[in-house]
Amino acid sequence: MPTPIKLSSRKDYESFLEKFDTFLLDCDGVLWHGNTLLPGVREVLALLRQKGKRLIFVTNNSAKSRASYSLKFKKLNIEANENEIFGSAYITAYYLKNILKFPKEKKIYVIGESGITEELDLEGIRFCGSSEDNDGNDIDFNNIYPDPTVGAVLCGLDTRINYKKIAKAFNYLYSNPDCLFLLTNDDSTIPYNGTLYPGTGSLVAPLIKSLNRNPDAVMGKPNKPMMDCITNEFQLDVERTCMIGDRLDTDIQFGINGKLKTLLVLTGVSKEHDILIENAPIVPDYYLPSLGDLSELCK
């Protein structure tokens, strides 16, 4: 496995940027933690735009729709067109509609937030669950029963997860072997406020354990549906495209799977020792303490 190249000087930054026309950029842990932009990021993104680079934002965070992410970028004073934003909620709705051809007469039970329900709505896909099961009332098991019209259970990031949601999702999957079990992504953690919290992959562990069943499909990085959705909208020259991420097993693996070059930044989940240990399973082409370090070129 080749040794990753650490970018550490102005000369390194300049020659790195000259190699690529397109950058795929992860969001949580690269651009921001929650609603806090990481230092230097705004300047670097503006620099990349000035240099005529194409930017594509690729996030496994399904809590927001494409439109809501577009609003978030605007509030953070970052230029980003909606068609440059690929969130796992958007690609999941796209995949259900165009690839899985999800039947119109069926509906989806959702564990997740408005990102998912807004994108399903836009594709005309019926759903139930999500915030309607947020309530903190005692569970009434008589209110949980098989429903053959539920054709899939879809799980994404849900900061209002509760026993009732897991029990209803379990019920639909346990009572109907034809019911699909889908995840927007399976990140084990989410970088937030300089630390980590349980991510989507950890929230669905109770379902996997209790059903003794793995999901039928996971949409987000490092998986193919995310890349298929991007390449359906953008022609990528893989030799001149670089994936920038903070997480080895999603972002960097996603870039490797897509035959892209990869840059790991250390402001999120993965750390320098993860790539310098002997026989590291996943290694980026380049790495850098933070994306903001490239703002050295703005001076």
Active site residues: 26, 28
The stretch among 3-11, 166-174, 183-191, 210-218 that binds ligand DEZ (CB under 6 A) is 183-191
Least distance in angstroms from the C-beta of 156 to ligand DEZ: 7
> Which residue, 144 or 208, is less far from ligand DEZ as judged by CB?
208
DSSP 3-state of 198:
strand
Query: With binding defined as CB under 6 A, does residue 78 bind ligand DEZ?
Result: no
Question: Alpha-carbon distance 46 to 118, whole Å?
Answer: 29
Query: With binding defined as CB under 6 A, does residue 24 bind ligand DEZ?
Result: no
What mask of x and - would describe binding to ligand DEZ in positions 121 to 160, judged by CB under 6 A? ------------------------------------x---
Query: With binding defined as CB under 6 A, does residue 295 bind ligand DEZ?
Result: no
Bridge partners of 154? 110, 182
User: Which one of 199, 215, 222, 292 is in contact with ligand DEZ (CB under 6 A)?
Assistant: 199
> Which residue, 61 or 253, is less far from ligand DEZ as judged by CB?
61
Question: Which residues, 6+ apart, have CB-to-CB distance to 66 below 8 Å?
Answer: 82, 85, 86, 87, 89, 90, 119
The stretch among 120-128, 173-181, 182-190, 209-217 that binds ligand DEZ (CB under 6 A) is 182-190
User: Which one of 23, 48, 61, 288 is in contact with ligand DEZ (CB under 6 A)?
Assistant: 61
Distances 186 to 85, 165, 202, 283 between C-alpha atoms, Å: 19, 18, 7, 20
Least distance in angstroms from the C-beta of 73 to ligand DEZ: 13
Query: With binding defined as CB under 6 A, does residue 113 bind ligand DEZ?
Result: no
DSSP 3-state of 126:
strand
Query: With binding defined as CB under 6 A, does residue 65 bind ligand DEZ?
Result: no
In the sheet with 85-87, reading across from the earlier edge strand, the strands are: 5-6, 286-288, 261-265, 241-245, 22-25, 54-59, 85-87
DSSP 3-state of 19:
coil
Q: Which tokens hold the place of 258?
A: 């897509």
Question: Which residues, 6+ apart, have CB-to-CB distance to 105 below 8 Å?
Answer: 149
The stretch among 22-30, 137-145, 223-231, 290-298 that binds ligand DEZ (CB under 6 A) is 22-30
Question: Alpha-carbon distance 45 to 156, whole Å?
Answer: 28
Is-contact 102 96, C-beta < 8 A?
A: yes
Query: With binding defined as CB under 6 A, does residue 187 bind ligand DEZ?
Result: yes
Query: With binding defined as CB under 6 A, does residue 223 bind ligand DEZ?
Result: no
Query: With binding defined as CB under 6 A, does residue 258 bind ligand DEZ?
Result: no
Question: Alpha-carbon distance 280 to 292, whole Å?
Answer: 26
User: Which one of 65, 92, 185, 262 is in contact with ligand DEZ (CB under 6 A)?
Assistant: 185
> Which residue, 151 or 220, is less far from ligand DEZ as judged by CB?
220
Q: Are strands 195-198 and 189-192 parallel, antiparallel or unpaired?
A: antiparallel
Least distance in angstroms from the C-beta of 192 to ligand DEZ: 9
Query: Which parts are annotated binding residues?
Result: 26, 28, 221, 246
Helix 88-98 vs helix 114-122: crossing angle, to nearest 10:
30
What residues line the site for ligand DEZ (CB under 6 A)? Answer: 26-29, 59-61, 157, 185, 187, 190, 199-200
